[in-house]
């Protein structure tokens, strides 16, 4: 990678610079072949896309069809995935009804922290203006790719939403029509009502439908994983088109966005999670020692699900009773995605800035509420936030072109937001245990104690 970047410094010798960059691309390819991971291939496609856009702009300009194909594949996932995750999250945990007070405290904590994360993400992107200056520099998505997306080269009008219109538009008159018209907010509301209704059905009638929605959710996660194999082509094509159209200036904006995200995540840790820990009298240093390993797993894999077993063991060894940690952390995987929520708020405004669309404060607040609803249940799958981001873009009539530019650095952003998701869920279990007066009241199991014996 260093050799590839060094090629940009030799501006006085363009042929030598091109040769050095090509050698750098080859070395990155060799590295990707040894790693054989999706993240490595996305990184390689980003480098190769930049080089293609510089060396063969005419070819690069024709690669937009690959981004369009990838967009179609992603969009077909959105409605069933959101439906399945919301229904499963609402009534998939039988403990919610049986423990009552525990469930209410958990959900209140989740939504308070998620709100703080959304607000911090919104403020951070307005301070950095990372998307400003990208107008006309993002790959367009043509009408034939999707009938519900406005092309990036025809700047859409910002949505004018009265509260009456917004309230009416929340509720679907026909769920099939809502799915066909890509009305994701209506799908989410239907899923919420469906989940609540299912929770009130007798167990023998509820169980088959719940198994169906759980199977649907797992299938759509698997579907997402399959589609993500096409992500390197989508990323490479998007960056090749962008570089061919507007040069290397877009990389400056992506760098600003990456720095903005990590600054916002640090701010959330200091302004959101730390006060919650101090108010609940959680020993912060000891807590950090216990969550270090699951957080490292989350950072390395960009998948909250990979860190789940060790997170549960760590919190049980920390002193959270098994019945609390077994309820709060799995429930948090559907309802407590503060890192993903922060990123979605930041990325949505980035897309608006890149498209030269000004959203009123009221529209931004509506967007935050929408993201709080539609972001539930995506922590287990790497880059599943792309699905929610595209859904939000369609709701607020934002073009998807800038989202493909984001894919170039999404792997780096995914690491940070996944760590916040995992640490946030671990902290939630400790806080709820303290509220219940049971933190440290139960001796951890031998298995949990042995698993994290070196934390102390």
pLDDT at 158: 39
Q: The tokens of 241 are what?
A: 């088109």
In a domain, 175, yes or no: yes
How far is C-alpha 80 from the chain's CA centre?
A: 17
What count of other Cβ atoms lies within 10 Å of the Cβ of residue 171?
12
Cβ neighbors of 162 (< 8 A, separation 6 or more) are none
Cβ neighbors of 108 (< 8 A, separation 6 or more) are none
pLDDT at 14: 60
What gap in Å lies between CA 445 and CA 398, rounded to an integer?
51
3-class state of residue 157 by DSSP: coil
In a domain, 140, yes or no: yes
In a domain, 259, yes or no: yes
In a domain, 10, yes or no: no
Percent of the chain with pLDDT over 70: 74
Give the chain's residues under pLDDT 70: 1-18, 39, 89-90, 92-101, 133-166, 182, 184-185, 242, 245-250, 300-303, 305-306, 334, 374-384, 408, 441-456
In a domain, 162, yes or no: yes
pLDDT at 281: 92
Place of tokens 């894999």: 301
> How do residues 201-223 score in pLDDT, each as one tens digit?
888 888 899 889 888 877 887 78
List, as one string, the DSSP characters of 273-317. IHHHHHHTT--HHHHHHHHHHHHHHHHHHS-HHHHHHHHHHHHHH
In a domain, 383, yes or no: yes
Please state the domain count of the chain: 1
pLDDT at 454: 47
* CATH, residue 146: 1.10.3860
In a domain, 30, yes or no: no
What gap in Å lies between CA 201 and CA 392, rounded to an integer?
32
pLDDT at 153: 39
What gap in Å lies between CA 246 and CA 137, rounded to an integer?
5
Q: What is the DSSP letter of 443?
A: P
Cα distances from 144 to residues 36, 131, 148, in angstroms, run 33, 26, 10
pLDDT at 67: 75
> How do residues 263-317 score in pLDDT, each as one tens digit?
999 999 999 999 999 999 999 999 998 888 888 877 866 667 667 777 888 888 8
Q: The tokens of 393 are what?
A: 């873009």
Domain holding 57, by residue range, is 37-455
In a domain, 23, yes or no: no
CA atoms within 13 A on the CB side of 143: 1
How far is C-alpha 43 from the chain's CA centre?
A: 18
Element (H, E) at 131: none
């Amino acid at each position: 990678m260093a050799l590839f970047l060094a090629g940009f410094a030799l501006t006085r010798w363009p042929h030598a610079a091109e040769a050095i960059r090509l050698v750098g691309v080859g070395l990155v390819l060799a590295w990707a072949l040894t790693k054989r991971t999706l993240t490595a291939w996305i990184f390689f496609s980003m480098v190769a896309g930049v080089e293609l856009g510089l060396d063969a702009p005419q070819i690069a300009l024709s690669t937009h069809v690959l981004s369009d194909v990838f967009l179609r594949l992603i969009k077909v996932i959105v409605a069933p995935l959101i439906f399945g995750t919301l229904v499963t999250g609402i009534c998939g945990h039988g403990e919610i009804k049986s423990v009552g007070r525990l469930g209410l405290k958990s959900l209140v904590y989740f939504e308070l922290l998620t709100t703080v994360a959304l607000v911090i993400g919104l403020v951070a992107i307005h301070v950095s203006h990372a998307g400003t200056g990208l107008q006309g520099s993002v790959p367009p998505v043509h009408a034939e790719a999707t009938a519900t997306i406005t092309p990036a080269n025809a700047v859409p009008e910002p949505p004018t939403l009265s509260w009456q219109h917004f309230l009416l538009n929340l509720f679907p008159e026909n769920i099939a029509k809502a799915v066909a018209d890509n009305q994701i907010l209506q799908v989410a509301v239907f899923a919420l009502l469906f989940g609540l209704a299912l929770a009130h059905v007798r167990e023998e009638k509820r169980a088959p439908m719940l198994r169906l929605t759980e199977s649907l959710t797992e299938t759509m996660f698997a579907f997402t994983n399959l589609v993500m194999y096409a992500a390197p082509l989508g990323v490479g094509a998007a960056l090749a088109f962008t570089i061919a159209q507007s040069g290397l200036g877009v990389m400056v904006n992506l760098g600003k966005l990456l720095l903005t995200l990590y600054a916002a995540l640090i701010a959330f840790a200091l302004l959101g999670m730390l006060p919650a820990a101090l108010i609940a009298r959680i020993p912060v240093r000891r807590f950090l020692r216990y969550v270090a390993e699951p957080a490292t797993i989350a950072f390395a894999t960009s998948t909250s699900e990979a860190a789940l077993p060790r997170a549960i063991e760590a919190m049980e060894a920390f002193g959270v009773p098994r019945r609390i940690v077994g309820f709060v952390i799995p429930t948090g995987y559907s309802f407590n995605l503060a890192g993903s929520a922060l990123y979605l708020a930041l990325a949505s405004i980035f897309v608006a800035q890149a498209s030269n669309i000004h959203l009123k404060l009221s529209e931004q607040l509506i967007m935050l509420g929408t993201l709080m609803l539609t972001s539930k249940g995506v922590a287990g799958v790497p880059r599943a936030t792309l699905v929610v981001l595209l859904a939000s873009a369609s709701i607020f009539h934002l073009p998807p072109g800038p989202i493909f530019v984001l894919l170039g650095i999404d792997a780096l952003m995914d690491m940070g937001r996944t760590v916040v998701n995992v640490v946030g869920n671990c902290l939630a279990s400790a806080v709820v245990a303290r509220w219940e007066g049971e933190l440290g009241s139960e001796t951890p199991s031998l298995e949990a104690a042995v698993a994290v014996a070196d934390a102390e």
